């Protein structure tokens, strides 16, 4: 059971179909992710999709999708090759005028082992940095959908883990 997650939510002035169209595109992170150097597709097939994110600092993570609901969102695992997987969920809701994106991450490190031992590192380090990261990603998505422009690298500031 997953018990620790971090999420960011952003309201976007677009209909839910437009939001879904962007987040379900192959290599979609190239359009709006401020820390993504390159988003390479390995296989793009809804809940069986696999892609890789090369971050600005050279780290490469793989995303493996396992659930896909059109106009609702998807779930995936993300990890560096050969390392444990964290669970990520992208949820969308809205109507023909406004949409809301919610991205939540359940980091593997703090959802295994002794939860009492992990409490301080989680709240003092991981949660604040992960929240900052997710706010930048959701802000980038909002910018792309509302302005129609690709997000520049580090648009919302550098990130200690990924820039």
90-110 pLDDT per residue, tens:
999 998 899 999 999 998 665
Adjacent-strand bridge partners of 70:
none
- The answer to the question of residue 163 being in a domain is no
- The answer to the question of residue 70 being in a domain is yes
125 has pLDDT over 80: no
* Domain count for the chain: 1
pTM: 0.91
2 has pLDDT over 60: no
128 has pLDDT over 50: yes
**Residue 11: other Cβ atoms inside 10 A:** 11
- Give the span between the Cα atoms of 163 and 157, in whole angstroms: 9
- Give the span between the Cα atoms of 127 and 144, in whole angstroms: 26
- The answer to the question of residue 20 being in a domain is yes
Adjacent-strand bridge partners of 8:
103
CATH number at residue 109: 3.30.530.20
Q: Which two tokens stand for residue 163?
A: 């820039």
3-state secondary structure of 66: strand
For the stretch 58-100, pLDDT in tens is: 999 999 999 999 999 999 999 999 999 999 999 999 988 999 9
């Amino acid at each position: 059971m997953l018990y620790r997650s971090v999420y960011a939510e952003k309201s976007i002035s677009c209909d839910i179909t437009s939001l879904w169209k962007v987040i379900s595109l192959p290599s979609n992170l190239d359009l709006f992710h401020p820390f993504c150097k390159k988003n390479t597709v390995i296989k793009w097939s809804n809940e069986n999709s696999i892609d890789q994110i090369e971050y600005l600092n050279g780290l490469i993570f793989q995303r493996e999708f396992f659930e896909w609901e059109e106009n609702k969102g998807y779930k995936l695992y993300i990890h560096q090759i050969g390392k444990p997987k964290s669970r990520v969920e992208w949820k969308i809701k809205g109507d023909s005028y406004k949409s809301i994106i919610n991205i939540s991450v359940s980091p593997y490190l703090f959802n295994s082992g002794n939860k009492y031992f992990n409490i301080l590192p989680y709240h003092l380090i991981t949660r604040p940095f992960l929240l900052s990261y997710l706010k930048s990603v959701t802000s980038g998505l909002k910018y792309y959908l509302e302005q129609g422009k690709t997000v520049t690298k580090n648009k919302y500031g550098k990130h200690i883990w990924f820039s």
